[in-house]
Structure 1
Amino acid sequence: MSSADLAKSIGQELPFLRRYARALTGSQSAGDNYAAATLEAILADRSPLEGVDVRVGLFRAFHAIWESSGQPVADADGGARGQRAQVHLSGLTPNSREALLLNTIEGLRPDEIAKVMQISPEEAEELVQTAMNEMGNALRGKVMVIEDETIIAMDLKGIVQAMGHEVTGIARTHTAAVQLAKEKRPDLILADIQLADGSSGVDAVNELLSTLGDMPVIFITAFPERLLTGDRPEPAFLISKPYTEDQVSSAVSQAMFFASTEGLEAS
């Protein structure tokens, strides 16, 4: 592959590396810093890209940096929030959370995850299952859903409740979201980008965060690459439409580890 073709291929995959890195750290800035470090490492040494497709090679290079850095989630945005997350995450099987994200959010097969982590496909598959068991049973909290399409809203509510979380309610507009959050503060927000009245889910969330304080937010969008540019404040957690139940469950479980300890219950 020529340098120009390689640069183009990496550019196409970079938004999804950012998504993965942000979900791991719970932070846009920390995640994007890891993505940038990965690109610098590849410029110095292309060996992680050898024998695999570009996406797998990128994640392989990232994983080497992530492992060598000690996975410092506590350095993520939020200070105390990051430190609480580190405590929550310390009880998980090493590499299980990474394997779960690579599989459910980024769509890598066990054999591809194996190449990323330098393990066997069987070990990769076992790590994904372990993460589902450990993270799904770790924390319980309150989730607010901001979604204007009734069928999708009810589906999201059902997935979240099946995980054992409380759904504080469903808001279909910016105004309704603000009112609902005032009535019962959530630990996590699950929000669509475009709402029924033409208002923005991003604007609604920004207002909520400015009044209620910091909390994790998962955005759902049909165009994830538009929110993975790294050029402005963007989400740490992002799900693509159409989504799967495993994607929602994985993202909610990940995000709960970065929620406030207030209102959370260990299972």
Structure 2
Amino acid sequence: MTDTTAEISRALPYLRQYARALTGSQASGDNYAAATLEAILSDRSLLEDATSTRAALFRTFHGIWISSGAPVAGDEAGLAARAQKHMAGLTGNTREALLLHTLLDFTFAEVAEIMGLDPVEAHELVETARREMADAVAGSVMIIEDESIIAMDLEALVSDMGHRVTGIARTHAEAVKLAGEELPDLILADIQLADNSSGIEAVNEVMQDLGKRPVIFITAFPERLLSGERKEPAFLIPKPYTQEKVRSAVSQAMFFASTETLSA
């Protein structure tokens, strides 16, 4: 029992991140995560017949998510309203499968287990999501990254996807200046910058001055930003990152435009 509790505790921050990405709201995502834990506490059999406790946790969440109709609030405005509109045009279950596979590193077999599919269906859903998102939206991206090689790699990845890079900032001040010159549709930001300034603070200042934008943060310590103590990013890429994770996060953040500001 102790081992199972520890496994659930380790997986919980990522379940909350997943729920946040699906709903577009930290509060709503946390409600779904809490409902998942309550369901498991009241019925421990939900953990049985799973390949892992982590898979069982996400499988339980998925059952609750589907039974509720996978909602994004229809009375939202701004970014959340854009998310609602975009979601209506997606093939069912594609976004869930893509998130599970690319951002949370579940295999196709595990995605199938979580979603009640077979692995071939899971693979097809992920590929469908990639096509639909890539074909739907192209925009401008600002990169905040102080390591030149990583910045160049990210720029190439984003450009290859059909998006335009407005520029690369290495410090807080450069980021604010660059955003003021051309407002991006999406911000891709490291946490720690060249002058020891904070990428989080830079993003917050940009949003305070110019309005909310979808944001993807990159960090070597993702758990520090998934503590539940403050607003959290829906799209958080751990270092070292993979190109697949970056492409998936950029496609989804650009497509749904539902990420809220992360408070520093």
Shared topology, TM-score over 0.5? Answer: yes
1:227 aligns with 2:234: no
Q: Does the residue aligned with 1:199 lie in a helix, a strand or coil?
A: coil
- Tell whether 2:153 aligns with 1:166: no
CA distance in 2, matches of 1:74, 1:257: 17
Equivalence for 2:12: 14
**Secondary structure at 2:166's aligned position in 1?**
strand
CA distance in 2: counterparts of 1:25 and 1:81, whole angstroms: 12
Measured on the aligned residues, the alpha-carbon RMSD in Å equals 1.5
What does residue 61 of structure 2 align with? 62
The whole-number CA distance in structure 1 between the counterparts of 2:103 and 2:74 is 23
Deviation at 1:239, TM superposition (A): 0.7
1:191-234, CA deviations, whole angstroms, 9 ceiling, x for partnerless residues? 00000000000110111111111111110011111111111122
Of 93, 113, 125, which aligns to 2:111?
113
Alpha-carbon deviations, 1:44-101, whole Å to 9, x = none? 222332122111011101111111121122369x633212211112111111111111
Partner Cα separation in structure 1 for residue 132 and residue 84 of structure 2? 15
| Bigger shift: residues 100-109 or 19-28 | 19-28
Which amino acid is the alignment partner of residue 193 of structure 2? L
Correspondence 1:236 to 2:227: no
In the comparison of the two structures, how many residue pairs are matched? 257
2: CA distance, partners of 1:9 / 1:208: 38
Residue aligned with 2:256, SS = coil
> Residue in 1 aligned with 2:135?
137
- 8 Å CA contact 1:146–1:191 kept in 2: the answer is yes
In 2, Cα distance between equivalents of 1:129 and 1:233:
31
Counterparts of 1:1-267 in structure 2, within 5 Å, are 2=1, 4-52=2-50, 53-74=52-73, 79-259=77-257
Moved more, 249-258 or 199-208: 249-258
Give the superposition deviation at 1:33.
Answer: 2.1
Q: Is the 8 A contact 2:111 2:119 kept in 1?
A: yes
Return the alpha-carbon distance in structure 1 between the equivalents of residues 237 and 244 of structure 2: 11
Superposed displacement of residue 27, structure 1: 2.6
Residue identity opposite 2:170 in structure 1: R
4+ residue segments displaced more than 6 Å: none
Contact 1:143 1:166 in 2 (8 A): yes
Unaligned 5+ residue runs, structure 2?
Answer: 259-264
Contact 2:59/2:113 (<8 A) preserved: yes
Q: Deviations over 1:24-57 (max 9, x none)?
A: 2233222222212211121122233212211101
Query: Sequence identity of aligned pairs in percent?
Result: 64
What TM-score do you get using the length of structure 2 for normalisation? Answer: 0.93
Point out the more displaced range, 16-25 or 114-123: 16-25
TM-score, length basis structure 1: 0.92
Any stretches of 5+ residues in structure 1 without a counterpart? 261-267
Name whichever of 66-75 and 81-90 sits farther off: 66-75
- In the alignment, the residues of structure 2 paired with residue 7 and residue 105 of structure 1 have an alpha-carbon distance, to the nearest angstrom, of 23
What one-letter code is carried by the residue in structure 2 that aligns with 1:258? Answer: F
Alignment partner of 1:218: what SS? strand
| Cα contact 2:171–2:197 (8 A) shared by 1 | yes
Instruction: Name the aligned partner's letter for residue 246 of structure 2.
Output: V
- 2:21/2:235 contact within 8 Å kept: yes
Task: Determine helix, strand or coil for the equivalent of 2:146.
Answer: coil
